[in-house]
Chain A
């Protein structure tokens, strides 16, 4: 599904990624990507999504090269991304945070807005119904008409997942979705992810919460200082010497 080959990236004199190659297939619902801070995880996501260009290497998705495509075209190809820092559309309502997402919408064409209002209204109703269902699933229905800026940090993270649910991606890049949210909301998020996996959506997850990674991910990749040092199961990662040294620390029992 996703084929990242020999990606390298340098910011000034800082080598962020070195010859990273990753292959994800549909058989693995959620693949985890872990590594210490500054190991290049988010940069890799930005490169895959097209927000940042690599110095060398290539990105393919569903057999199609994405390197020359801007982020919006990569989204159309079936990729989606949630950002590490919660990016809320604060001056829009919670509902509009979802209804603005589907692309294309008839009403985004002004010709259709003015000449075919009925067609626009019909699709708009469908989008609103879908948003309403998602808000119910995320337990955010009561806040639907409030500005998204009034939500708590955890609710914002949930709403970000809701935005992903408004599209029909094949693969979602989740950048630290549980950072800074409480255990109850983490469980809600896990439930939502499991629902989406059942619908056939696949996830590439950057996460520091190791118990969660172990629970969700059948396969774990580990980046350290821009290099891929491990590819296997979460259980194997815990006992891998390189991973222990680079990420988990020397005292394995302290983190497990």
Chain B
């Protein structure tokens, strides 16, 4: 039961994290390969704030504000770049964040990481049921807000920008302003996911926030279907289920140590096959359009 609870909580964190990326990638067409950097900023912000005796909810709120503000600051210069260049710059940003966390030992304890992060407590209860309820609540509220954003004229303009930036500009849309706001919102929700993850796991170190996590969350979005609210939800459930399912494969004892590598290879392969065979993902935006 504890294992099932754990998988459900991790799944909800991934849903929140991938939905935040979906806003940028799926709706605005921003290939942010450095999304994990904001997840890390959220995790560290909340950790450091709660370790200074502030309550966990205060950590959640500040992680959103700090990650959102850093997202806006990061996007201000970087959005002058377009397409692939933006992707490369975002990748470099995530690595900068990781190296900063690794080297600023006075603040982050560097590679030793930070243990003993305060757990989530609701009415005196600290257990996985509480974690699940809080994760469910945070994810549901976040998805509701994202749904409201996606179905608003703001979300529609994001899609206009994603489809054709030239048309958007020709009709007077301030593309940079829309993108900055999108990255700020996406980063804030990624920060929240990171904060929850830190309080749930109880220990963080810079090596938890590598490119591999970005690829995994990217897979959740692409597999589920970009630009739809449900896509990242479905994608996250499948990615976590497949990843965990591999643990139960009847592999020879000599191979059990390689499960993590097999998992990475499998996810990489799925990503390549998806791009080749079904780039629109399981829940295709165009199909949803036709059904309306």
Given contacts A89-B163, A113-B154, contact A72 B174 (CB under 8 A): yes
Chain B residues with CB below 8 A from A113, complex form: 148-149, 152-154
Given contacts A109-B154, A113-B154, contact A101 B163 (CB under 8 A): no
Q: Are B167 and A72 in contact (CB under 8 A)?
A: no
Given contacts A72-B173, A108-B157, A124-B153, contact A91 B290 (CB under 8 A): no
Quick one: which of A103, A114, A120 contacts B173, CB cutoff 8 A?
A: A103
Give per-residue flags for A49-79: 1 if the beta carbon is below 8 A from chain B beta carbons, else 0: 1010000000000000000001111011000
Chain B residues with CB below 8 A from A107, complex form: 152-154
Q: Are A87 and B164 in contact (CB under 8 A)?
A: yes
Chain A residues with CB below 8 A from B154, complex form: 107-110, 113
Report how far A96 CA is from B227 CA in the complex, Å.
15
Is the CB of A118 closer than 8 A to any CB of chain B?
no
Is the CB of B289 closer than 8 A to any CB of chain A?
yes
Q: Which residue of A lies closest to B170 (CB)?
A: A81
For B, the interface residue count at a CB cutoff of 8 angstroms equals 29
Report how far A167 CA is from B172 CA in the complex, Å.
10
Chain A residues with CB below 8 A from B156, complex form: 92, 96, 99-100
Chain B residues with CB below 8 A from A124, complex form: 153
Q: How large is the interface on A (under 10, 10 to 19, 20 to 34, 35 or more residues)?
A: 35 or more
Q: Shortest Cβ distance from A123 into chain B, in angstroms?
A: 8
Q: Are B171 and A103 in contact (CB under 8 A)?
A: yes
Report how far A84 CA is from B163 CA in the complex, Å.
17
Is the CB of A200 closer than 8 A to any CB of chain B?
no
The segment from A20-28, A141-149, A223-231 that touches chain B is A141-149
State the main secondary structure of chain A at its contact with B.
mixed
Give per-residue flags for A109-137: 1 if the beta carbon is below 8 A from chain B beta carbons, else 0: 11001100000100010000000000000
Give per-residue flags for B131-152: 1 if the beta carbon is below 8 A from chain A beta carbons, else 0: 0000000000000000011001
Is the CB of B160 closer than 8 A to any CB of chain A?
yes
Is the CB of A209 closer than 8 A to any CB of chain B?
no
Is the CB of B286 closer than 8 A to any CB of chain A?
yes
Determine which residue in A51, A89, A120 has the highest number of CB atoms from chain B within 10 A of its CB, and name it.
Answer: A89
Report how far A108 CA is from B154 CA in the complex, Å.
4
Chain A residues with CB below 8 A from B172, complex form: 72-73, 75-76, 103-104, 167
Is the CB of A93 closer than 8 A to any CB of chain B?
yes
Report how far A120 CA is from B156 CA in the complex, Å.
13
Q: Which residue of A lies closest to B160 (CB)?
A: A100
Is the CB of B199 closer than 8 A to any CB of chain A?
no
Q: Are B292 and A149 in contact (CB under 8 A)?
A: no
Q: Shortest Cβ distance from A103 into chain B, in angstroms?
A: 4
* A positions within 8 Å CB-CB of B: 49, 51, 70-73, 75-76, 80-81, 83, 87-93, 96, 99-101, 103-110, 113-114, 120, 124, 145-147, 149, 163, 167
13 A-B pairs with CB atoms under 8 Å apart are A49-B170, A72-B174, A73-B172, A89-B160, A89-B164, A89-B167, A91-B227, A92-B163, A93-B289, A105-B153, A110-B185, A114-B148, A146-B289
Known A-B contacts: A100-B153, A100-B159. Give 9 more (CB < 8 A).
A87-B166, A88-B163, A89-B164, A93-B292, A96-B159, A100-B156, A100-B160, A105-B153, A110-B149
